[in-house]
Amino acid sequence: MSSVCIIPARGGSKGLPQKNIRLCAGKPLLYWVGEAARQSKVFDRIVVSTDCKKIAKVAKSLSLEVQMRPQHLSGDEVGVTEILPYVIRHLGQVYDYTAILEPTGPLVEAEDLYDAMDKLVRRNADMIISVCPTAAPLGWTGPINVDDTLRGWFPSYLRNQNRQQVKTRYQLDGNIYIAKTWVFDTQRDYWDTNIIAYKMPASKYVDIDDADDLAMAELKLERRLYGRPS
């Protein structure tokens, strides 16, 4: 079985410029997922895909392989799934499994990657995605009417119940995406494949869009690294 880990790290980020190489707990954000992938010993290669020379330089300083993207696959409007066929087809080798690790998920650990890959292979599923318990009360979220009225908004089956009476609800946490390579290469709608969940604790969830999110990620990392109390 062969596998490759791709770390997409574009240069453009309007909310937090150059966020993929911002320092977090003393290291570039890119370092944490790269190190987790390395320590998991799951992957034959770890490749950073970027359109930014500055990010490429940082990645190389971390001993990570770099693949530069062409101009037409650069910019805010280009999604990760759109770049994958190009990245995969320019690796010079075909791999059975491909993982996508976002630099903005620095709380993922080597054991998570190992366990997720193990579950994916044992179940012979097409793809595995990490999820965590939702932070929304009773797991309910939804749009609000344009006039801000809430009549009938909260589902009747959840009313007058507490958390203990309701099954745990989950959300995507953005930490792990691993699939048989053909899923990404063909740009299939992976929700229509044999896809399974890898459950992670909410404590490993962070969504880094601005400086406050980065500070929260740093706080969580430092708690883990140095055992600082919550």
Q: Where are the domains of the chain?
A: 3-128+174-196+209-226
Mean pLDDT of 185-200: 92
Query: pLDDT tens for residues 2-38?
Result: 999 999 998 877 778 889 999 999 999 999 999 999 9
Residue 121, classed as helix, strand or coil, is helix
Q: Which of 19, 7, 24 is nearest to 66 (CA)?
A: 7
How confident is the model at residue 203, as a pLDDT? 93
The fold of 3-128+174-196+209-226 is Spore Coat Polysaccharide Biosynthesis Protein SpsA; Chain A (3.90.550)
Q: Is the pLDDT of residue 142 over 80?
A: yes
**Structure-block tokens of residue 2:** 């062969």
Percent above pLDDT 70 for the chain:
96
Helix 29-40, helix 211-226: angle, nearest 10: 40
Does the pLDDT at position 164 exceed 80?
no
Structure tokens at 203: 């404590």
For residue 178, report the phi and psi dihedrals to the nearest 5 degrees.
Answer: -130, 135
Length of the chain: 230
| pLDDT at residue 200, as a whole number | 97
107-116 residue pLDDT tens: 999 999 999 9
Residue 21: φ, ψ to 5°:
-120, 10
| Structure token pair of residue 67 | 């693949």
Tokens coding 140? 């309910």
Is residue 155 scored above 90 in pLDDT? Answer: no
pLDDT number for residue 230: 46
Question: Is pLDDT larger for residue 44 or for residue 78?
Answer: 44
Count of CB atoms within 10 A of residue 166's CB? 14
